[in-house]
Structure 1
Amino acid sequence: MSWLRNNGLTIVLLVLTALSLGGMALAGLQVENSNLAEHGAPTADLWSYLFSGSFASAVFENWESEFLQMSFYVVLTAFLFQRGSSESKDPHGDEEVDEDPASKQRDKRTPWPVRAGGLWMWLYSYSLGIVLVALFLASFVAHWLGSAVAANEEAAVHGQAPATLIEHLFSAQLWFESFQNWQSEFLSTAVIVVLSIFLRFRYSPESKPVAAPHDRTGS
């Protein structure tokens, strides 16, 4: 039971992810088969749909935008400020958010890259941003490939010539799919940054204490 309590947030989020993916697959299959039926093409089963360009494109264009949002958020909050927000460092604060990791190199409880020092410590110091950017790039590539397959499947139904991967990379369709998600991610991040100045959610680490003044920065 202690393991479930200690990992409950991750477990619930992963379960919700799996349920959402399942619902997306079932609903997407119906939409896909409806479109195929309109053009007199044979319908797809669930297994083939899961490996189709349409499903891959839909999944990864959303993952791409989420990882873009998180990577930008991690990097920007290291250098930029919003006074009063729980999501920001205090622009006028004198306290150090993170002490020099080199001062903890001899502490056996610190992660091994810190004890190793040098390049390992530098990479570990920025590892969260690095990995999030890498996940964004991987998701973008997966979205690009899936979108290209889906576009060519659609072109085949209409008797049109397929496009190459490079042609699709510079197509309006791919960038429309990306930008329609990117704008919502940046907006939602701005909204939480601003709303956390004035609004609270008791016990959440993303919120300032209920009685904290509006001009207090950080959670």
Structure 2
Amino acid sequence: MRRFLRDNGLSVTLFALFLVSLIGQALTGWRAHVEELRLHELPATGFLEYLTSGHFISAVFENWESEFLQMAAYVLLTVFLFQKGSSESKKPDEDNPEDETPENRRNDPNAPWPVHRGGLLLKLYSHSLSLVLVALFVLSFWLHLTGSTRRANEEALQHHQPMKTMAEMLTEPEFWYESFQNWQSEFLSIGVLLVLGIYLRERGSPESKPVAAPHAETGH
């Protein structure tokens, strides 16, 4: 177990922080939602009921959507765009190992099994990271839309107003406001990290260039 935690400490810590944050969001969101219902003189919902409410589902997947969009866009854009001086960019004037033809390592026993199989499977595996990230974005977007529609209909029911379909919700400025307010912050944060990494350092982090590396040095 100690060896496992040492070798996987980063992912274990991040997923633990995610779980703690999600529980915190659920508990505080539930309390805030109960308070909102109380102000409107409506009956409170239980915690488990709240977890299936539009209020919670919309808020969770609104954020997941933007995160997966950011990662998918970054993975795809770094295939053909460069940022000189960034450790996150390929080198613009040299051959990069990321562009290596996978068939050249078909006889490597340590290569992933799709490399040995070749053909369509290898083509899919060659783009599997972006495909999965895009799929996660689409799924999160759909769940955000589902949650927002449910939340709007819950509020409509409380105020005796007509219900909305998911197609109608797609035309609502409020829905797109929720998406764009997260998208813009994600693209800003990754752009800031990209540029700051050219001139600033964090000793010991693989996300930073070595402290003594020149500003113009690009790539790992």
* Alignment TM-score, normalising by the size of structure 2: 0.96
Secondary structure in structure 2 of the residue aligned to 1:97? helix
Q: Give the deviation of 1:95 after TM superposition.
A: 4.3
Amino acid at match of 1:131: V
Q: 1:96 to 1:9 in 2, by over 3 A?
A: closer
Secondary structure in structure 2 of the residue aligned to 1:148? helix
For residues 62 and 98 of structure 2, the distance between their equivalents in structure 1, rounded to whole angstroms, comes to 34
Equivalent residue for 2:104? 103
Residue correspondence of structure 1 range 62-101 to structure 2 within 5 A: 62-101=63-102
Q: Give the deviation of 1:51 after TM superposition.
A: 1.1
Equivalent residue for 2:143? 142
Secondary structure in structure 1 of the residue aligned to 2:85? coil
For residues 94 and 33 of structure 1, the distance between their equivalents in structure 2, rounded to whole angstroms, comes to 58
For residues 47 and 66 of structure 1, the distance between their equivalents in structure 2, rounded to whole angstroms, comes to 26
Q: Give the deviation of 1:174 after TM superposition.
A: 1.3
Amino acid at match of 1:50: L
Equivalent residue for 1:10? 11
Q: Give the deviation of 1:106 after TM superposition.
A: 2.1
Equivalent residue for 2:201? 200
Equivalent residue for 2:20? 19
Residue 47, structure 1, aligned to residue 48, structure 2: yes
Q: Give the deviation of 1:98 after TM superposition.
A: 3.5
Q: Give the deviation of 1:34 after TM superposition.
A: 1.2
For residues 34 and 95 of structure 1, the distance between their equivalents in structure 2, rounded to whole angstroms, comes to 56
Equivalent residue for 2:171? 170
Equivalent residue for 2:191? 190
**1:88 touches 1:217 (CA, 8 Å); kept in 2?**
yes
Q: Give the deviation of 1:22 after TM superposition.
A: 0.9
For residues 94 and 113 of structure 2, the distance between their equivalents in structure 1, rounded to whole angstroms, comes to 30
Amino acid at match of 1:114: V
Moved more, 101-110 or 133-142: 101-110
For residues 178 and 101 of structure 1, the distance between their equivalents in structure 2, rounded to whole angstroms, comes to 37
Give the CA RMSD over aligned residues.
1.0
* Alignment TM-score, normalising by the size of structure 1: 0.97
Equivalent residue for 1:179? 180
Q: Give the deviation of 1:180 after TM superposition.
A: 0.7
Q: Deviations over 1:108-136 (max 9, x none)?
A: 22111111111111111110001000000
Provide runs of 4+ in structure 1 moved above 4 Å. Answer: none
Equivalent residue for 1:128? 129
For residues 94 and 130 of structure 1, the distance between their equivalents in structure 2, rounded to whole angstroms, comes to 25
For residues 105 and 93 of structure 2, the distance between their equivalents in structure 1, rounded to whole angstroms, comes to 26
Q: Give the deviation of 1:97 after TM superposition.
A: 3.2
For residues 14 and 96 of structure 1, the distance between their equivalents in structure 2, rounded to whole angstroms, comes to 30
What percentage of residue pairs aligned between the two structures are identical?
Answer: 55
For residues 80 and 49 of structure 1, the distance between their equivalents in structure 2, rounded to whole angstroms, comes to 44
Gaps of 5+ in 2: none
For residues 114 and 138 of structure 2, the distance between their equivalents in structure 1, rounded to whole angstroms, comes to 25
**2:90 touches 2:96 (CA, 8 Å); kept in 1?**
no
